[in-house]
């Protein structure tokens, strides 16, 4: 859901994203993603499929931010 929300916000970038929004998203991702990724890898309670979905979500978030950075 979060990725879909970010994608929607990024799609509307030209009309309503304030200056610095993409940089803020990147800074947040850069802090949270490594810690979350490490947690997911170590969580024995998650199945391989659950881990893969969470890692795919991180990758999608990063891709959306990269796309927004490229269009600035």
How many C-beta atoms surround the C-beta of residue 22 within 10 A?
22
Nearest alpha-carbon partner for 3 in 51, 47, 55, 60:
60
Residue-level pLDDT, tens digit, the chain, 72 residues = 455 555 555 555 555 566 689 999 999 999 999 999 999 999 999 999 999 999 999 999 999 999 888 887
User: What global pTM score does this model have?
Assistant: 0.73
62: burial class by Cβ within 10 Å (0-12, 13-18, 19+)? middle
């Amino acid at each position: 859901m979060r990725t879909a929300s970010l994608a929607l916000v990024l799609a509307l970038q030209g009309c309503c994203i304030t200056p610095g929004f993409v940089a803020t998203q990147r800074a947040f991702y850069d802090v949270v993603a490594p810690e979350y990724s490490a947690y997911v890898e170590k969580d024995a309670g998650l199945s391989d499929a659950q881990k893969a979905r969470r890692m795919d979500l991180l990758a999608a978030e990063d891709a959306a931010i990269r796309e927004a950075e490229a269009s600035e």
